[in-house]
Chains A and B, each alone.
Chain A
Amino acid sequence: MSILVDKDTTFIIQGITGREAVTMARECLDYGAKLLGGVTPGRKGREVHGLPVEDNVLAFTSRTRVDAAVVSVPPGFAADAVLEAIDAGIKLIVCVTERIPRKQVAQFVEYAAEKGTRIIGPNCLGVISPGKTRVGGIGGAAESTRRAFKPGRIGVMSRSGGMTVEIANSLSEAGLGVSTAVSIGGDAIIGSTYAELMPLFDADPETEGIAIYSEPGGRAEYELADYMARSGSKKPIVAFMAGRFMDEMPGMRFGHAGTIVEGRADTTASKIANLTAAGIIVAEKIGDIPRLLSERLGK
């Protein structure tokens, strides 16, 4: 098993004729993912790697089952694309686009919740269940992806797309492997937080432990700590907090849009204390994650 996606997950790419989306489509196909085609308004009738391009999402959903959509359109059009996919009845939307103003994100996230649609991102690389499928650009070329993501026992959640791959690679090198990895997005408001994905990992028999990458800014780690206390979740979690240097630099933004220290609770020091109190192991070094998980898993 895996979470969110499996080998039969069918999906489309909105904005498929864009330069990065064309590459992503190639990589997904090479990986064996069930990509059906994509949408670019005004480009109906074209093909990308032999797959159909349509003017709207309904052209796909009216004739076939579409489990997911990847939104890879410029920020000015992204909210519209997400709303279109929600109204077409798609239940999983991976929004890759970055720099969407947070008012628009709050609006479509609220609408998605009303309609029972799950959103991953924005500003993420997507979801992968190694050996089964990938939805998004995560891992890059299929061959690199296979090398960094070996099928295995650990679930990964990360605010950074790049660090999702780094952590997965270290887990693969250590022989632990990855059950499902989710690049959750680096924005201040995202569709699915750690705490919202945890129940899925808890219910997944393939996932024995979880690795988390986080950064200063926001309060998502407190929500995770609350979840752990409330749910009695037993799977070991190892978290890594990057950006410790930012604690001394309030008001400065580094990296992702959501990564800024605006209050005491945003700092790594405060988050680490809170996570530790909730029984989550906080790795001092990024390279320690596989060892700490192995110790907790007992082999």
Chain B
Amino acid sequence: MRFYEFESKQILAKAGIPLPKSHFCKTPDQAAAAAFEVGGPVVIKSQVLSGGRMKAGGVKFADSPGEAAEHARAILALPISNLMPVGVLVEEKRAIAQEYYAAVTWDGRAKKAVIIFSDMGGIDIEEVAEKHPEHISRTHFSASRPFSDYIAKNAVAGVGVTGNDLNALTRIVAGLARVFLERDMTLAEINPIGKLEDGSIIALDAHMDMESEAARQHLDLLKELGVGPEEKRQARPPTQFEIDAERVDSADTRGVAGNLTEFDGNLGLIIGAGGGSLTLFDAVRAAGGKPANYCEIGGNPSVSKAANLTKLICAQPGVEKIAVMMNVVSNTRVDIVARGVVKGCIEAGFDPAEKIAIFRIPGSWEDEGFAILKKYGVPYVDRSVSMDEAARMAVENTKKKA
């Protein structure tokens, strides 16, 4: 679950990390009042869950409250990567002498948490890693022991920082690492950390992601930030199709039939599970097909759940046919899925023999499943046909549409 900059900064403030004066505003009037309160030049920043705000025109500078209001009005109306901002952050503008980068994240390879620190902040950290590896330090630490400040010190000293800056940066990075651990973050990043002309060091921009699976343990923090329990904070907002699929999945706890992502093709997909869905989606595209959606079915969904998902996908404008495909399944009953998709097709007003381009789910109860498909004239294949071949047949079949 990704936090907005203003939320991330509230989390940092609670951890004692120094920040510029700032106000979260939802209207141009509020922005003007905030600029007046700050006094002097301000920066107005779009509060949107997307990078590249500066390039997109989502960050502007103002010397007066009037100018701040004007910029706020423009930014509040400006979508970035198809996302509308939830407000603007009006922040005092400070002259920066030097920028640093600090992030704490998980390293699946070391199976530990890691601090990534650089004295080349403010720019794309992957680019720094490629072109200036000597300006990046990576310092792993245990999630089992209480965090100790020396680890942060080693991270900062690792790029050659010393003197007062070392001590000030150590405090910031240690605070960041502690928040990361305490709040089950998957990423806690400050980019840039700014050293001001007066020598003080503050966090200028922040990006935090909390692990969705752990969110329930941090309801106190979420409540304080005003984050609702239903907020998903995906990389893009869900479409109606996706919301409807989520409803199908959550209405019935048996098995999984959902986790749908909309695409703009003509072949509806009922595919599963995690790895199988990825493989089949690729296979459809490799065969020249255009998927209308990604989704996952798995476990043991009921007939009605499979039917409801099928109905929903069939009902999308632009969906000409659907393909029902899975890897060789361990638990899912083939006959139940077969019954469900046939029922869903009929309820949506289609002939399953016409609407279903291919059915390929090998596994338990497959003979019973195949019998149902045969009865309704639905084309199906067994495990002797690979997932790629089944996907190719689905694409071919969709091309010869009635």
* A contact residues vs B (CB 8 Å cutoff): 23, 75, 99-103, 106-107, 109-111, 125, 137-141, 144-145, 148, 158-163, 165-166, 169-170, 173, 186, 188-190, 193, 213, 215, 218-220, 222-223, 240, 242-246, 249-259, 263-264, 284-288
B284 CB, min distance to chain A CBs, angstroms: 9
B213–A100 CB distance below 8 A: yes
| B330→A138 contact, CB < 8 A | yes
- Determine if B399 is an interface residue (Cβ-Cβ < 8 Å): no
Query: B111 at interface (Cβ–Cβ under 8 A)?
Result: yes
Residues of A within 8 A of B326 (CB): 162
Cα of A169 to Cα of B366 in the assembled complex, Å = 15
10 A-B residue pairings within 8 Å (CB atoms): A106-B112, A137-B331, A141-B364, A163-B279, A186-B274, A189-B106, A220-B109, A245-B281, A246-B278, A255-B274
A258 CB contact (under 8 Å) in B108, B278, B362: B108
B181 on the A face (CB < 8 A): yes
B317-331 interface bits toward A, Cβ cutoff 8 Å, 1 = contact, 0 = none: 000000000111111
Given A254-B261, A287-B387, also A106-B106 (CB < 8 A): yes
Residue from B108, B362, B363 in contact with A188 in the complex, judged by beta carbons closer than 8 Å: B108
Indicate if the CB atoms of A173 and B383 lie closer than 8 Å.
yes
Q: Inside 8 A of B278's CB, which chain A residues have their CB?
A: 160, 215, 242-243, 245-246, 254-255, 259
Pair A188/B261 contact, Cβ less than 8 Å: no
Contact partner of B387 (CB less than 8 A), chosen from A139, A166, A254, is A166
Once bound together, how far apart are the Cα atoms of A6 and B205, in whole Å? 54
Complex contact B330–A144 (CB within 8 A)? yes
A202 to chain B, nearest CB (A): 20
Docked pose: A144 CA to B367 CA in angstroms = 12
Q: Within the assembled complex, what's the spacing in Å between the Cα atoms of A99 and B217?
A: 13
Q: Which of B54-95 contact A (CB under 8 A)?
A: none
CB < 8 Å: which of B142, B273, B274, B389 contacts A287? Answer: B389
CB B186 to nearest CB in A, in angstroms, measures 7
Closest chain-A Cβ to B242's Cβ sits at a distance in Å of: 12
Verify A163–B285 contact, CB threshold 8 A.
Answer: no
A165 touches B213 (CB 8 A): no
Q: Which residue of A lies closest to B287 (CB)?
A: A285
Contact A162 B383 (CB under 8 A): no
Known A160-B274, A219-B108; 10 more pairs at CB < 8 Å: A110-B143, A160-B273, A160-B278, A166-B387, A189-B106, A193-B109, A219-B109, A251-B235, A285-B386, A286-B387
Chain B window 272-288, contacts with chain A (Cβ cutoff 8 Å), 1 for yes, 0 for no: 11111111011101100
A103 adjacent to B214 (CB under 8 Å): yes
- Give the chain B neighbours of A263 by CB distance below 8 A: 126
Pick the contact of A110: B106, B142, B279, B330 (CB < 8 A).
B142
Minimum Cβ distance to chain B for residue A94 (Å): 15
| B380 at the A interface (CB under 8 A) | no
| From B142, B274, B283, B388, residue with most partner A Cβ within 10 Å | B274
Complex CA gap A161/B281 in Å reads: 17
**In the complex the two chains form, is B106's CB within 8 Å of A252's CB?**
no
- Closest A-B pairs by Cβ, 6 of them: A160-B275, A287-B386, A255-B274, A140-B330, A251-B235, A166-B327
Cα-based distance from A169 to B363 in the complex (angstroms): 11
Interchain CB contact under 8 A, B108 and A218: yes
In the assembled complex, which residues on chain B have CB atoms less than 8 Å from the CB atom of A161? 273, 275, 330
Contact with A along B98-113 (1 / 0, CB 8 A): 0000000011110111
Q: Are A254 and B277 in contact (CB under 8 A)?
A: yes
With A186-B275, A215-B278 given, is the CB distance from A101 to B213 under 8 Å? yes
Closest chain B residue to A123, Cβ basis? B274
- A260-B3 Cα distance, complex, nearest whole Å: 18
Contact present for A102 and B274 (CB under 8 Å): no
Contact (A148, B181) CB under 8 Å given A173-B383, A254-B277: no
Compute how far the CA of A22 lies from the CA of B327 in the bound complex, rounded to whole angstroms.
Answer: 24
- The docked-state distance in angstroms from the alpha carbon of A165 to that of B143 is 34
Cβ A165 vs Cβ B330 within 8 A: yes
